[in-house]
Amino acid sequence: MRTLNDYFLTAKVTDISTAGSTFVAVPDGGNIVKIITTIKNAITTADAAITFEIGNTAVTNGAITVTQSGSAAGDVDTSVPTAANRVEEDGTIEIISDGSSATACEMIVTFVIRR
């Protein structure tokens, strides 16, 4: 259930099959209460591990695995962070892909942040 104190940040990861980071600017402080991802197409070879960091600290229980087997456009994965999930105004959230999968694949990430 969403409250009036929730806001949403959406970011695009250009290719989860390439190891790297994407940074998202944070306009207002709060706690990340949910992370939702969707992919544009199937990935191959291996699962893609997606992790999240705030100030070089991993978000506890925030990691998402995009499963290669049966993956398809529009697949949704979620996580519910439990600690190390506080973001501050004008800070950043880092989205990290391990690049283990193959086949270029765009991912959209939505953060639900509760003030």
Q: Determine the Cα–Cα distance for residues 45 and 19; give it in Å rounded to an integer.
A: 14
**Residue ranges of domains in the chain, CATH in brackets:** 6-114 (2.60.120.260)
Digit-coded pLDDT (tens) for 21-71: 999 999 999 999 999 999 999 999 999 999 999 999 999 999 999 999 999
Q: Determine the Cα–Cα distance for residues 41 and 82; give it in Å rounded to an integer.
A: 29
| pLDDT greater than 80 at residue 2 | no
Give pTM, 2 decimals: 0.96
Q: Determine the Cα–Cα distance for residues 41 and 73; give it in Å rounded to an integer.
A: 4
Q: Would you state the pLDDT for residue 27?
A: 97
Give the 3-state secondary structure of 89-107.
CCCEEEEEECCCCECCCCE
**What are the C-alpha distances in Å from 76 to residues 11, 22, 107, 114?**
15, 19, 10, 21
Q: Determine the Cα–Cα distance for residues 92 and 71; give it in Å rounded to an integer.
A: 29
